Structures are given as C-alpha cells and as structure tokens.
Structure 1
Amino acid sequence: MSAERLAHNVFFQLKDNSPAQVDALVAACKKYLNVQPGIVFFATGPRCQELTRDVNATDWDVGLHLVFVDKAAHDAYQDDATHNQFIAEMKGNWASVRVFDSYV
C-alpha cells in the first residue's frame, strides 16, 4: 500500500470560533502546512455553514485537506519543523481535532 497516495484530512473545532479566529487558523494552515515535500494537493477553509442536511457533520470549524505522494511523505510531514511550529502556535484554540487518513 505504501506506493499509493495518502489523503490526510483534518477537522478543527475551535474554542473561539469567531470569524477572526477561523481566518487566523486558515491563514496559519496556508503559511505552515503547504511547504513540505511530497504534497500533491493542498486545501483549507471554513466549514460551509449553508449545508445542513442530516448527514452533514457540523461540529467543526476549519478543514485541512492534503494528499501526499505516498505514506512516507505523510510521515515526514508529521515530523517537519513547520508542522510542529503550526501546532505550537495554534493548538491553544483547539477544542478538538479529528484526523481522517486514507489511501486514494
């Protein structure tokens, strides 16, 4: 499986989910989490609040979506200094973080 691309989806629920704090987290994702080698797709943004069907999860504020060339690139990303700096700077406002990883 290691030769397959790996999708890394992270959903952040914020303690303070004001528009300014949502924007700050999105900006930090763009600054720190789009610079590591092996990323083939990057996107981040706020939850689309207009979608409220029964199947829509609404207990999160910011989504981060990455696809890595393979699991090894994902594993290197987890230990990357900019990834660790992002965590150190932003984790104080996280109420919860959920991670969904899959091969794609």
Structure 2
Amino acid sequence: MVAICRRAGMPAQMAFDHIGGMLLSCYHDWYLALADLPSWGQSVDSEVQQYIRGVQNVVKANLHWSFRSGRYFGEANEEVRKTGIVTVQPQSADVELSIL
C-alpha cells in the first residue's frame, strides 16, 4: 500500500503515516463492530468469540514475527516495538518504485 501512495506522489514518510492512519481507522472500526455484535444464543456466541480470538491471534502472531525476524526493522526492532515509531529513510534516486 505504501508503494501505491508513493506512486501517487507522496514522500516516503507521508506514505507510511497515511497507511498508519488507515490502520488506526481499521482498529477503531474493529472495536466498534465487536461492541455491536448481536447475540445468537450462548452456544453460537461462544463459537463467535472463539473465532474472533483466532483472528486476533493471527494478527498478533504476524506482528510478533515482524519484530523477531528483523526483516522490517533490523537492529531497531526493540525500539520500534516499544515506541511504534519508524523513521523512514529517503529513497535513493536510483531505486525505481515498483508494485508487485
């Protein structure tokens, strides 16, 4: 998604900030949806909650892997995990943006 923002002319940091804002909006919508879940009876509600925990665990596992692997944040893993702040380096002029 960052690549799409960059193609639209956003500088790197602005693109990451924009995507971060979109993510925060998704979190907000997620919690509103959870608060608005109807009840289908105890048996079904229990299964729905189990499914929701499974979805949350997949997201958490992906996040933990991102920090442990070093793939995204390198030596700054712990600092990024603690602060949630990623400083984006300007892209060199010889690197062409591509969308996979």
Please report the TM-score for the alignment, with normalisation by the length of structure 1: 0.27
**Greater relative contact order: 1 or 2 (C-alpha under 8 angstroms, separation 6 or more)?**
1
Please report the TM-score for the alignment, with normalisation by the length of structure 2: 0.28
Q: Which has the larger radius of gyration?
A: 2
Structure number with higher helix proportion: 2
